[in-house]
């Protein structure tokens, strides 16, 4: 598996990405609170089943239909799903003692990333001549056919 990390410059075309990260951080914090509440209520019983990704995703689709959570329709659905997968991985690592603590709440200033696979993103190199000081080529990233 290959991973690439890109820094997105502040530009008026990227304003929608910043607002999306704020909404994704709200979703993250909501589902962390939901998972903690679920564990507090049902965790002491034998055969406890944690709130896994499929339960959380099902709940997310129900919440997006409500008028209170209407802004959650704005971010890319795959970014929200990846957020829920991160939460599930964090709880799995915690319960299997690979992590010291369960996932934490994050402020929107700390939550500055989106995770996605290559099917949603197309990277277009503008020109090899246009390089920054470190000789890194400048590229345009197209998310869901949008610059």
- Residue 120 is predicted with a pLDDT of 64
What is the structure's pLDDT at 68? Answer: 95
Note the pLDDT tens digit of each residue in 89-119. Answer: 998 998 889 999 989 998 877 766 666 666 6
Residue from 86, 87, 81 nearest 64 by CA: 81
User: Cα dist. 120→25, 30, 51 in Å?
Assistant: 20, 25, 27
Tokens of 33: 């609170």
Roughly what angle, to the nearest 10 degrees, separates helices 53-65 and 77-95?
A: 140
Is 90 exceeded by the pLDDT of residue 131? no
Instruction: Enter the pTM of the model.
Output: 0.77
């Amino acid at each position: 598996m290959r991973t690439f990390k890109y820094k997105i410059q502040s530009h008026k075309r990227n304003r929608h990405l910043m607002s999306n990260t704020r909404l994704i951080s709200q979703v993250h914090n909501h589902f962390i609170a939901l998972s903690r509440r679920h564990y507090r209520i049902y965790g002491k019983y034998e055969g406890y089943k944690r709130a896994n990704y499929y339960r959380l995703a099902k709940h997310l689709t129900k919440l997006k239909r409500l008028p209170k959570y209407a802004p959650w329709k704005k971010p890319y659905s795959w970014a929200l799903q990846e957020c829920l997968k991160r939460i599930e991985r964090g709880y799995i690592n915690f319960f299997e003692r690979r992590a010291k603590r369960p996932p934490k709440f994050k402020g929107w200033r700390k939550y500055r990333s989106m995770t996605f696979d290559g099917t949603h993103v197309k990277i277009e190199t503008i020109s090899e001549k246009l390089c920054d000081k470190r000789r890194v080529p400048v590229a345009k990233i197209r998310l869901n056919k949008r610059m």
